[in-house]
Amino acid sequence: MTSINPPTILSANGTLSTTWSLESATVSIPNSNIEITSRLFNGQLPGATLRIQPGDTLKINFQNLLTDNNGALGYVHNTYSAADETNLHFHGLHVSGELPSDDVTHVVGPGESYDYMTTLPDSHLPGTHWMHPHRHGSTSLQVGAGAASAIVVEDPPDFLPDQIANAPEVMFMAQYFHVNELNRIQEQSNDQLTNIRNAPSNEFTLVNGALQPTISINPGEWTRFRIIWSQWRNGNLDFSIVAQGGCEMQLLAKDGIYIRDYPRAIDMAPIVPGGRADIMVRCRDPSTYYSISGQGGTLATIVTTDVEVESSDLEAWEPPYPAYLSDLRGATVSPGCSCTTEFDGTDTVNGIAFEYGLTLHTSYLGAVVERVMGGQANEHPYHQHVYPFQLTTGYNNNRDAYNQIGDWHDVVMGDGTIRYSPTEFTGKLMVHCHRLIHEDLGMMAMEQVGEQEGGTCSCTAAPGLGLGAIIGIAAGAVLIVAIIVGFCVYRRKRRIRAAAEVADNNDLELLETEK
């Protein structure tokens, strides 16, 4: 396979325990003269791939080894800021959104550390996911400058048909860089650390930390590509193989969830920002070069060896789906649980900029929840934490049959309706635009999943403890206290003046008496 694969960390005996850092590092990019100085996981670009099993516990001692660099702007709400503050997001994992798990409202400051711990359900479907920082205000800067790692939930023994289980794997971590945009964000957040030197152009994409690497495969052999699109700005990956009649692609999974109608022949995979795709690839001609194209041109090159391997066409296969992935296309939406979610050009969700503590929508365990995507949905990829969702209407983009009704995603772009059913995890469920430049400015919201089965849903934002409300309440309280103190001071002064007047009168009367 490719000679430039990220290192791998494996779980053992039901646990993957590792020490992880975000730190300043400078890396030289293979196949180029590019040098990148930025905040990277363990000083690597990309970080190591974590491979875990369903039911495993993931323990990460996460250390923020950054220091406040030359007066970088501290946190300013819904503004590019907090360049040296960070946290972790387990993008795509079906795990709790509360601490010590995937709570992206938690902040790990410079010099601080936090022990993340999350346990995957035994029923967690195997698949391809990833991990990246998600500190509101600095998400786009940190992800856009290279902080990302793959997470693979392994297929248990005898889970896959032999054609897939025995196929060689290629990890394809595609990371997008936009020099001018990063410079703009840097300037606004007063960041002095990030620096990209000798870039071949203003925009470029690295694969496994290299510029246009070469991937070697055997002709005639099926190879599984695990593709991650670490996009934070704009644009689908549009992964395709420019073949002279010698290669084919069969879709296996999207966003870490196997499709129901495998194998699905495609010519191109329009993977949206933050999305993933597992694709079975077969190129028949020996000793041949094939270009993998995507956003910005050539991403990598496939070269086939001279060792031909015979293989049969892929056979149909459908995995057993756990309860959190039950088919909801024919289900009845629970009363009050169909809500509209709209992204627009003002960096808001439903016209409301992100506020800590503000709840946009609520649901409950066992509900069938529907979200109607509106507004500028064709321009903003919708990403949902904790629970993936099923496409129920819309989204047939007629682009090589990549999207089909009934497919599951955790990020999607376009008008349509989606459904999911909370089964086990209560608490925070974050939703946001995965053009992270918008998320940092306020295009994010928090939903809440309640514990009570048979509860109620709400589509109305509850502003009770939002940051703006807290500030408003605090300001009001300060004003009230000031008024009370002022009134008390005024009354005290009046009493003093009155007492003085009484004393003066008494003195006058005494003088008159003495006369």
Report pLDDT digits (tens) over 386-422: 999 999 998 865 455 899 999 999 999 999 999 999 9
> For residue 208, is pLDDT > 80?
yes
> For residue 507, is pLDDT > 60?
no
* Cα distances (angstroms) measured from residue 477 to each of 77, 319, 466: 22, 58, 16
What are 215-266's pLDDT values in tens digits?
999 999 999 999 999 999 999 999 999 866 689 999 999 999 999 999 999 9
Tell me which amino acid residue 316 is.
Answer: A
CA dihedral 305, 309, 312, 317 (to 10 degrees): -70
Q: How confident is the model at residue 513 (pLDDT cuts 50, 70, 90)?
A: very low
Quick one: residue 200, left, alpha or beta (phi over 0 = left, psi -120 to 50 = alpha)? alpha
Q: Going along 257-368, which residue ranges are E strands? A: 257-258, 264-266, 276-283, 289-294, 297-304, 338-343, 359-364
Tell me which amino acid residue 439 is.
Answer: E
Which tokens belong to 477? 């309280």
What are 44-78's pLDDT values in tens digits?
999 999 999 999 999 999 999 998 766 678 999 99
Cβ-count burial of 219 within 10 angstroms (0-12 exposed, 13-18 middle, 19+ buried)?
buried
Q: How confident is the model at residue 85 (pLDDT cuts 50, 70, 90)?
A: very high
- Whether the Cβ atoms of residue 55 and residue 93 lie closer than 8 Å to each other: no
pLDDT of residue 497: 54
Q: Which residues pair with 184 in a beta bridge?
A: none
Which tokens belong to 418? 């989606």
212 three-class SS: coil
For residues 27 and 39, what is the distance between their CA atoms, to the nearest angstrom? 11
Peptide bond just before 263 cis, omega within 30 deg: yes
The arithmetic mean of pLDDT across residues 149-153, rounded, is 98
For residues 40 and 138, what is the distance between their CA atoms, to the nearest angstrom? 13
pLDDT of residue 465: 40
For residues 392 and 411, what is the distance between their CA atoms, to the nearest angstrom? 14
Q: Which helix (H) or strand (E) holds 154?
A: none
The arithmetic mean of pLDDT across residues 334-345, rounded, is 94
What are 470-497's pLDDT values in tens digits?
333 344 443 433 444 454 444 555 554 5
Which tokens belong to 23? 């730190």
Q: Which residues pair with 176 in a beta bridge?
A: 205
Peptide bond just before 121 cis, omega within 30 deg: no
pLDDT of residue 393: 92
Q: How confident is the model at residue 453 (pLDDT cuts 50, 70, 90)?
A: confident
Which tokens belong to 442? 């306020």
> For residue 344, is pLDDT > 70?
yes
pTM over 0.85: yes
> For residue 279, is pLDDT > 50?
yes
Which tokens belong to 64? 């923020």
Strand order in the sheet with 338-343: 338-343, 369-375, 416-420, 389-394, 408-409
How many degrees, rounded to 5, is the angle at CA 15 between CA 11 and CA 18? 75
Percent of the chain whose pLDDT exceeds 70: 87
Residue the block writes with tokens 């890396």 = 27
User: Over the chain, what is the mean pLDDT?
Assistant: 89
Higher pLDDT, 317 or 485: 317
pLDDT of residue 184: 97
* Cα distances (angstroms) measured from residue 236 to each of 201, 295, 379, 395, 427: 19, 7, 11, 14, 31
Tell me which amino acid residue 360 is.
Answer: L
Cβ-count burial of 338 within 10 angstroms (0-12 exposed, 13-18 middle, 19+ buried)?
middle
